[in-house]
Every structure is written in C-alpha cells, then in structure tokens.
Homo-oligomer: A and B are copies of this chain.
Amino acid sequence: MLIKDMAREASIDLLARTRLCRLACAHEGQPYITPIHCVYDDNHLYGFSTLGQKITWMRKNPLVCVLAEELISPQDWTSVIVLGEYEELPDIGPYAMHRQHAYDLLQRRAMWWEPGYAETVLRGKARPMQFLYFRIHIEQISGHRGVPDSIAEPEHSVAQQKKRGWIRKVFGRPEQ
C-alpha cells in the first residue's frame, strides 16, 4: 500500500460527498464519539441533533474533531480529519439565516434526521423533543489516501512516487 497526503480540495470533496461522519467532543478531558449526519458548505459542516450529551458538552467546550472516511479495503481507503469549532444556530437574530441554510442543505438528503432522532429517543425518553441545528467551523483539515500496490506500482517508480508526494509504507509485522 502507498499512502498519499491529500490536497485540501480533495479532502473537502470527500467531506462534501460523505453522508455519515464521526464527531468527537470532549468534556473535562473525557472524549466522546457519535455518528452524525452533516453537510459541507463553505468551510463549515452543517448538522442537526436533538438535545443530548453531545450538545451539552459542545456548549461547554466547542472544540470538536470530525472524521470522514471511505473504506474500500484495508489497503484502499480515504480518510479526512477536521479540527473545528461548534456553533449552535438558534432561530434568533443573526443565527436564523444560518439555521435556515443548515435546514436547506440537510433536507436535500434522504433520512438526514435519523442519527439525531435516534439519540433522543434512546437517551431522553421523558424529555420533549428539542431540535437543534449547528455548524462546525473548519479550522484545520487533513486527508490521506491509501492505495493498493497493485494499482500504484505499475504506473510509478519509487522515485516517481516520492516526487509526487506518495509515501512508501513499510511492510512486515513489527516484533514483539
């Protein structure tokens, strides 16, 4: 397998076509991961949720990480990691416009509300449902692509791969 650093544009392309991402937030040093459905637009990821642990934590600490992946096989994959900041979009003042934008973007995708609802039904059975829209401002983005040798090697020599920014992966299992 060869591993390639992806250009920012290619990383954003992956974000734009990924439906389900993983979001990590953290509270008092404890990280927490949940699946989220989000849509990329103009350096932001727009999402929807109901009130639960993730939202409570992100209100206290807006620093988040989002992982988007396309996995074809262990040697053929693409992954993008975003570091960003959570911003809630209530239906008031300057946020209302962005909230409407979030809704417009999300409703283009079928079943976009599924992960958000699921969490509430499970964790907040007695609470009235409270819909929340939010966006994540992308501060940093990095992407990597793994390519099987069978595809990458016939076309490029090792020198060419290095020149193109491809990185040869070391094989062989590590010793104990």
| Cβ B170 vs Cβ A131 within 8 A | no
Find chain B residues with CB under 8 A from A173 CB: 107, 112-113
When the two chains form their complex, are residues A33 and B29 in contact, meaning their CB atoms are under 8 A apart?
no
**Among candidates B61, B71, B121, residue contacting A167 with C-beta atoms closer than 8 Å:** B121
State how many angstroms separate the Cβ of A4 from the closest Cβ of chain B: 9
Interface of chain A residues 99 through 155 with chain B (CB within 8 A): 99-100, 103, 107, 111-114, 116-118, 121-122, 125, 129, 131, 144, 146
Once A22-B22, A26-B31 are accepted as A-B contacts, the answer to whether A169 and B65 lie under 8 Å apart by CB is no
A interface list, Cβ under 8 A from B: 1, 3, 5, 20, 22, 24-26, 29-35, 48, 61, 63-67, 69, 71, 74-75, 79, 81, 83, 99-100, 103, 107, 111-114, 116-118, 121-122, 125, 129, 131, 144, 146, 167-170, 173-176
Contact indicator A117/B33 (Cβ below 8 Å): no
Q: Name the residue on B nearest A91 (C-beta).
A: B176
Complex contacts, A146 vs chain B, CB 8 Å: 118
Contact (Cβ within 8 A) B63 A31: yes
* Minimum C-beta distance from A30 to chain B (A): 5
Copies of this polypeptide in the complex: 2
CA distance A101 to B146 in the complex (A): 29
- 18 new A-B contacts at CB < 8 Å, known A3-B122, A24-B24, A30-B83: A1-B114, A3-B121, A5-B122, A26-B30, A29-B63, A30-B63, A31-B63, A31-B65, A32-B81, A35-B79, A74-B111, A75-B114, A113-B174, A116-B174, A117-B170, A121-B168, A122-B144, A122-B167
How close is A89's CB to chain B, nearest CB, in angstroms? 11
Ranked 9 nearest A-B pairs via Cβ: A24-B31, A26-B26, A24-B24, A103-B176, A33-B67, A26-B31, A131-B174, A31-B31, A31-B65
